[in-house]
Amino acid sequence: MKVMTLFGTRPEAIKMAPLVKALEMDPEMVSVVCVTAQHRQMLDQVLELFDIKPDYDLNIMKSGQSLSEITSRVLMGVEDVISKEKPDIVLVHGDTSTTFSGAMAAFYQQIPVGHVEAGLRSGNMYSPYPEEMNRLLTSRLAQIHFAATQGNVDNLLKEGINPQTIVKTGNTVIDALKNVIKESYVFEDERLNKIDYKNNKVILLTAHRRENLGEPMENIFGAIRKLVEDFEDVILIFPWHLNPAVRNVAEKHLSGHDRIHLIEPLEYEAFANLQSKSYLIMTDSGGIQEEAPALGKPVVVLRTETERPEAVAAGTVVIAGVEFEAIYDVTKRLIVDQSAYEKMAEAVNPYGDGHACERIVSALKVWKKSK
Ligand code: UD1
Ligand code: UDP
């Protein structure tokens, strides 16, 4: 069975890497890897860490790229690869423009699509933007849906997806995470080794969502700056995203403070271990809302809603929104109120048991036999 995995950004690569490895090791599978390189440097960091050498690299990234540019470049590039390889199935992941456009390219050539991390829904088509629409459209294009949680399965059933085409697998991010956390981890960046994680409250921040660009991001960085200024034991580490639109706002609010570290994006192993050493995490990322609960780290979500309600229900994730006061107040409580903090700092893992990739590979074989 020839399986083509297709991905282009950092989070897709992290979550597809263990699946690529599982496919490569299986004697019944021929694995073909195509990367769009919607992200260049942030994708290459992951490929290197997991030692994945793509068979095809479309190298589409342009600085400040628009959604239409990504969509059209992926569509055209993937067409050539699929018509040459003619795989039995193309696997896409999640909700990026690579995901939707890659699925569309496969559909145009009548090649079946498998959707990994299917069934996430926020219910708001403009948030996350454009990811919610990418999810909906990819679900329409896919013939087999690998859903991480029962909630994700239920979302697909509500939309009339045939139950026989849905497989509950857990999230592959837990497969990726379980191999990289090490108690004695040493960072390449000496600044990170020198921080006293036990006697300070280290906040790890990430922010990149398109719908947060502009006023929400001004609020986010403004509130965080004030938190660092108001609490002397707070240290902020922000591995800032390479998007220049994020960097411009971040620089305005966060530069020039000795307890704020603006650092380049970390490779995955370093970032995962930094999550594990931090006091709490503030983020608008999707994947981090899945990883941090597994590591017992409270997460303050810098968005108005989440498509990952499982960890909110379990109490380790709180939605702060994108207003200055709310972000400040929610985070301040976790800094000053130890019992509120401890209630949130319980390791829960609603997203999987680390065996999602095995389940996906088995389901692919069953699917192939049924054809
Ligand atoms: C993209 C995805 C988003 C995902 C996120 C993960 C879309 C529309 N967005 O958002 O769903 O959550 O990736 O991080 O699919 N850049 C670099 N080097 C890199 C990566 C990015 O220079 O390695 C810069 C480029 O100027 C690029 C910009 O960042 O144009 C934005 O990248 P893009 O993929 O368009 O959007 P993200 O916000 O990264
Ligand atoms: N991540 C990383 N290095 C960093 C920041 C994040 O490896 O400097 C990882 C993080 O552990 C998670 C993923 O990148 O697995 C999240 O990616 P991102 O926030 O870019 O996208 P999203 O999850 O929002 O789609």
Q: Residue 371 — very low, low, confident or very high, per pLDDT cuts 50/70/90?
A: confident
Q: Which atom of ligand 2 is nearest to the CA of 284?
A: 24
What average pLDDT does this structure show over 38-67?
97
Residue 209's contacts (CB-CB under 8 Å, 6 or more residues apart) are 128, 129, 284, 303
Helices 215-230 and 324-336: angle between axes, nearest 10 degrees: 30
Residue 316 alpha carbon to ligand 1 centre in Å: 27
Q: Residue 279 — very low, low, confident or very high, per pLDDT cuts 50/70/90?
A: very high
Residue 239 alpha carbon to ligand 1 centre in Å: 14
Q: Residue 350 — very low, low, confident or very high, per pLDDT cuts 50/70/90?
A: very high
pLDDT score at 349: 87
What count of other Cβ atoms lies within 10 Å of the Cβ of residue 321?
Answer: 18
What average pLDDT does this structure show over 264-271?
97
Read off the pLDDT of residues 222-233 as tens digits, 9 standing for 90 and up.
999 999 999 999
Whether residue 183 has pLDDT greater than 90: no
Whether residue 179 has pLDDT greater than 90: no
What does the alpha-carbon distance between residue 78 and residue 282 come to, in Å, rounded to a whole number?
A: 35
Q: Classify burial at 5, counting beta carbons within 10 Å of its beta carbon; exposed 0-12, middle 13-18, buried 19 or more.
A: buried
Residue 8 alpha carbon to ligand 2 centre in Å: 13
Q: Which atom of ligand 2 is nearest to the CA of 268?
A: 7
Ligand 1 neighbourhood includes 97 CB (under 6 angstroms): yes
| Rg, C-alpha atoms of the chain | 20
Nearest ligand to the CA of 302 is 2
Nearest ligand to the CA of 285 is 2
Residues forming a β-bridge with 178: none
pLDDT score at 348: 86
What does the alpha-carbon distance between residue 185 and residue 225 come to, in Å, rounded to a whole number?
A: 28
What does the alpha-carbon distance between residue 156 and residue 152 come to, in Å, rounded to a whole number?
A: 7
Nearest to 261 by CA among 230, 228, 297, 215: 228
Say if CB 311 and CB 333 are below 8 A apart: no
Q: Which atom of ligand 1 is nearest to the CA of 130?
A: 8
pLDDT score at 222: 98
Q: Residue 346 — very low, low, confident or very high, per pLDDT cuts 50/70/90?
A: confident
pTM for this model (two decimals): 0.97
pLDDT score at 214: 96
Q: Residue 345 — very low, low, confident or very high, per pLDDT cuts 50/70/90?
A: very high
Minimum CA distance residue for ligand 1 atom 32: 243
Say if CB 6 and CB 91 are below 8 A apart: yes
pLDDT score at 243: 95
Residue 289 alpha carbon to ligand 2 centre in Å: 10
Q: Residue 365 — very low, low, confident or very high, per pLDDT cuts 50/70/90?
A: very high
What average pLDDT does this structure show over 275-293?
97
What does the alpha-carbon distance between residue 33 and residue 313 come to, in Å, rounded to a whole number?
A: 36
Residue 270's contacts (CB-CB under 8 Å, 6 or more residues apart) are 185, 187, 188, 189, 192
pLDDT score at 178: 84
Read off the pLDDT of residues 75-102 as tens digits, 9 standing for 90 and up.
999 999 999 999 999 999 999 999 999 9
Could you write out the three-class secondary structure of the chain? CEEEEEECCHHHHHHHHHHHHHHHHCCCCEEEEEECCCCCHHHHHHHHHCCCCCCEECCCCCCCCCHHHHHHHHHHHHHHHHHHHCCCEEEEECCCHHHHHHHHHHHHCCCCEEEEEECCCCCCCCCCCCHHHHHHHHHHHCCEEEECCHHHHHHHHHCCCCHHHEEECCCHHHHHHCCCCCCCCCCCCHHHHHCCCCCCEEEEEECCCHHHCCHHHHHHHHHHHHHHHHCCCEEEEEECCCCHHHHHHHHHHHCCCCCEEEECCCCHHHHHHHHHHCCEEEECCCCHHHHHHHCCCCEEECCCCCCCHHHHHHCCEEECCCCHHHHHHHHHHHHHCHHHHHHHCCCCCCCCCCCHHHHHHHHHHHHHHCC
The token duo for 115 is: 């959707």
pLDDT score at 347: 82
Average model confidence (pLDDT) for the chain? 97
Helices 41-49 and 268-277: angle between axes, nearest 10 degrees: 90
At residue 103, φ and ψ (nearest 5 deg) are -65, -40
What does the alpha-carbon distance between residue 290 and residue 3 come to, in Å, rounded to a whole number?
A: 26
Read off the pLDDT of residues 100-133 as tens digits, 9 standing for 90 and up.
999 999 999 999 999 999 999 999 999 999 999 9
Pocket of ligand 2 (CB under 6 A): 10-11, 14, 206, 208, 239, 265-266, 268, 271-272, 285-288, 291
